[in-house]
Amino acid sequence: MLMGNCLLLILWCLLDKSFVSPMHSSAQSKLGKEHHRGLRDQRRHGLSGLHRVKRGWVWNQFFVLEEYMGTDPQYVGKLHSDLDKGDNLVKYTLSGEGVGSIFTVEPTTGDIHALRSLDREEKPYYALRAQAVDVLTGRPLEPESEFIIKVQDINDNEPKFLEGPYSASVPEMSPVGTYVIQVTATDADDPTYGNSARIVYSILHGQPYFSVDPKTGVIKIALPNMDREVKETYQVLIQAKDMGGQLGGLAGTTIVNITLTDVNDNPPRFAKSIFHLRVPESAPVGSSVGKIKAHDLDLGKNAEVEYSIVPGDSSSMFDIYTDEQTQEGIVVLRKPLDYENRKAYSFKVEASNPHLDSRFLHLGPYKDSATVKVSVMDVDEPPLFSRSSYNMETYEDTPMGIVIGAVTAEDLDIGDSPIRYSIEWRKDDENYFDIDPVEGTITTSEALDRERTAKHNITVVATKVNNPLLYSRVSVTISVLDVNEFPPELSHPYEAFVCEDAKVGQVNRIYH
Ligand SMILES: [Ca+2]
Ligand SMILES: [Ca+2]
Ligand SMILES: [Ca+2]
Ligand SMILES: [Ca+2]
């Protein structure tokens, strides 16, 4: 089967535009892979097929250019049997993939044509079988020969980023060369032939901040000290170009959105060196006196601020703690205030970051201090009675209008308002007493009867004239003393009713 009854395949090698020439070779029915490799190598090096023929290579492949735009069917190659003497007694037939629809053979000449344009990226080769048949007997002149029609690549596909657009993040202040992300473009053209699928990456937008490795598509930090607090997001445009990046190559692009993540590179800073707070003297212990804030440009943990009061003259009067939501320092009262005693306090507050990053300590110190001045405000307070309660005594036969005692209240505020007194009558109470609104003296308005009521409890109200909303109450107990209507009984001496702590204005014994 070496020479003799074998089919000759006459090939058109469509290698380059400059290399289109017919070649002759005898085809063996058995063909090895090394033949494919040989062809590939040859094409790569742009060598003429003729030289290779001398080395005894046998071609079992036809080539057809993909995306052929010509008007006539594309000539693919020629079948020839050495039994064909040119007397039209041999007929060539073709079978296999695409026969009839794509490929035809001229029975007498063995010329193969492609009827329509082909797309290598859709189907890179077609497997066919050829046979030479005796026209008269219809019998095959030799065994069927298999061959392949390979679709020759042209660069008709641009690189594509199938996974784009990309998102990536990298810590701010990362050193130059820090890996950010790898982008990958794919090219549908033949990677084994020419440079149609040889991709080179470049950066169209995003310099000088980022760089891309031309071969790997790895994006890296290209500028030192990139600061999130200055610019947080970057849109980088990456191009992938085939033909090794050369002019005329096809290109595809993708967007890479890069976000700088935060590191603790900013200390907290008070916006001013002195904060003025005002608090009413009446503020209860534990209540908020006011807020101060040290601003930290960082985010989250890196912007957490701890406040402390520097020990000093006024430091024991106040506490400070951090509002978790706002990171403000809330100044809280620790001890009661008294405007009349002290009107102002001043202390130093320190703000610091609790979570430090050792790499950025040189950008510190991560703390700041400020002075807080607290002004105590006078509060218009209700009048204050001279005692918390009053006890009085009177005889049951005391005439109406006689003073039996007096209460005193005072306005301690700066205004020193006059005071007005009144008796607060409870429902159903009988009205036995009157009070002088200015003097606070209490008189009887009804005859008293000890046997009926021995003790009267009344409530006296003191109101500030210049602010009637401010008033105080005090309870006054009036004991009704027995008058000697009946013979005195030793078991009830008068002394038993004398208040031991009786002081000025408290007890008036009225004798007849
Ligand atoms: Ca292609
Ligand atoms: Ca390509
Ligand atoms: Ca910080
Ligand atoms: Ca930061």
Quote the ligand 2 centre to 161 CA distance (angstroms).
13
Closest ligand to C-alpha of residue 229 is 4
Q: In this structure, are 183 and 253 located in the same domain? A: yes
pLDDT score of 62: 87
Residue 1 resides in a domain? no
In the reported structure, the alpha carbon of residue 138 is separated from the centroid of ligand 4 by a whole-number distance in angstroms of: 87
Question: Is residue 201 situated within a structural domain?
Answer: yes
How many A from CA of 63 to the centre of ligand 2? 19
Residue 502 belongs to some domain of the structure: no
* Residue with more model confidence, 271 or 40: 271
Question: What is the CA(124)–ligand 1 centre distance, in A?
Answer: 9
pLDDT digit string (tens) for 273-294?
A: 999 999 999 999 999 999 999 9
Q: Which ligand is nearest to the CA of 158?
A: 2
Tally of helices (H runs) and strands (E runs) in the chain: 2, 34
C-alpha 207 chain-centroid distance? 25
Q: Is residue 102 part of a domain?
A: yes
Whether 148 and 11 share a structural domain? yes
Band (493; pLDDT cuts 50, 70, 90): very low
Full strand arrangement of the beta sheet holding 200-205: 166-171, 251-261, 233-241, 200-205
* Ligand 4 centroid, distance to 199 Cα (angstroms): 37
Domain presence at residue 2: no
Range of the domain at 224: 166-261
Peptide bond into 165 cis (omega under 30): yes
Predicted confidence at residue 301, as pLDDT, reads 95
Give distance in angstroms: CA of 155 to centre of ligand 2: 5
For residues 426 and 487, membership in a common domain is answered with yes
Q: Is 250 helix (H, G, I), strand (E, B) or coil?
A: coil
Backbone angles phi, psi at 381, to 5 degrees: -100, 160
Listed range (20-34, 50-64, 191-205, 417-431) with the worst mean pLDDT: 20-34
pLDDT digits (tens, 9 = 90+) for 76-115: 988 888 888 888 889 999 999 999 899 999 999 989 999 9
User: What's the 191 CA to ligand 1 centre distance in angstroms?
Assistant: 10
Q: How close is the Cα of 244 to the center of ligand 2, in Å?
A: 10
Distance of CA 59 from the midpoint of ligand 2 (Å): 27
Domain count along the chain: 4
* pTM for the structure as a whole: 0.63
Distance CA 237, CA 206 (A): 7
Q: Of 7-21, 176-190, 214-228, give the lowest mean pLDDT range.
A: 7-21
Identify the nearest ligand to the CA of 199 by its number.
Answer: 2
Q: Which of 15 and 438 is assigned the larger pLDDT? A: 438
CA 184 / ligand 2 centre spacing (Å) = 14
> How far is the C-alpha of 512 from the C-alpha of 509, rounded, in Å?
10
211 CA from centroid of ligand 1 (Å): 30
How large is the average pLDDT for residues 312-330? 93
Residues 6 or more apart whose Cβ sits within 8 Å of residue 88: 108, 135
Do residues 35 and 135 share a domain? yes
DSSP string, 453-499: -SEEEEEEEEEETTEEEEEEEEEEEEEEEPPTTS---TTS-GGGGS-
- Does 182 score more than 80 pLDDT? yes
Which residues have C-beta within 8 Å of that of residue 325, sequence separation ≥ 6? Answer: none
In a domain, 158, yes or no: no
Identify whether 81 is part of a domain.
Answer: yes
Final residue before a domain boundary, out of 347, 377, 407: 377
pLDDT in the model for residue 504: 44
Give pLDDT, residue 484.
65
pLDDT at 447 over 90: no
Q: 333 with 246, same domain? A: no
Q: How far is the CA of 267 from the centre of ligand 4 (A)?
A: 9
Question: Among 377, 407, 427, where does a domain finish?
Answer: 377
Binned at pLDDT 50, 70 and 90, residue 494 comes out as very low
**Given 322, 348, 377, which residue is the final one in a domain?**
377
Q: CATH number of the domain that 291 lies in?
A: 2.60.40.60
Domain identity same for 290 and 353? yes
**Residue 160 placed within a domain:** no
How far is residue 100's CA from residue 115's CA, in Å, rounded to a whole number? 9
From ligand 2's centre to the CA of 194, what distance in Å? 10
Residue 229 CA to ligand 4 center (angstroms) comes to 6
User: Of 138-147, 166-175, 408-417, which has the strongest mean pLDDT?
Assistant: 166-175
Give 189 Cα–ligand 2 centroid separation in angstroms.
5
305 CA distance to ligand 4 middle (Å): 14
325, 411: one domain: no
pLDDT bracket for residue 503 (50, 70, 90):
very low
Specify whether 21 is located in the same domain as 142.
yes
Question: What is the pLDDT, as a whole number, of residue 34?
Answer: 34
The C-alpha atoms of residue 78 and residue 395 are separated, in whole angstroms, by 150
- The protein residues having their C-beta less than 5 angstroms from ligand 2 (an ion) are 155, 157, 187, 189, 196, 242
- How far is the centre of ligand 2, averaged over its atoms, from the C-alpha of 242 (Å)? 5
Q: Tell me, in angstroms, the distance from the centre of ligand 4 to residue 228's CA.
A: 6
Mean pLDDT for the chain? 83
Report CA(185)–ligand 2 centroid distance (Å): 11
Q: What is the pLDDT of residue 429?
A: 66
Q: How far is the CA of 112 from the centre of ligand 4 (A)?
A: 71
Summarize pLDDT for 353-375 with one digit per residue, the tens.
999 999 999 888 999 999 999 99
pLDDT of 46 above 90:
no
186: which 2 tokens? 């794919």
Q: How confident is the model at residue 23 (pLDDT cuts 50, 70, 90)?
A: very low
Is 115 in the same domain as 24? yes
Is residue 178 located within the same domain as residue 229? yes
Fill in the DSSP letter of residue 298: S
- Looking at residue 498, its pLDDT comes to 40
Residues 341 and 390 in one domain: no
By the CB criterion, residues less than 5 angstroms from ion ligand 3 are: 264, 266, 296, 298, 302, 353
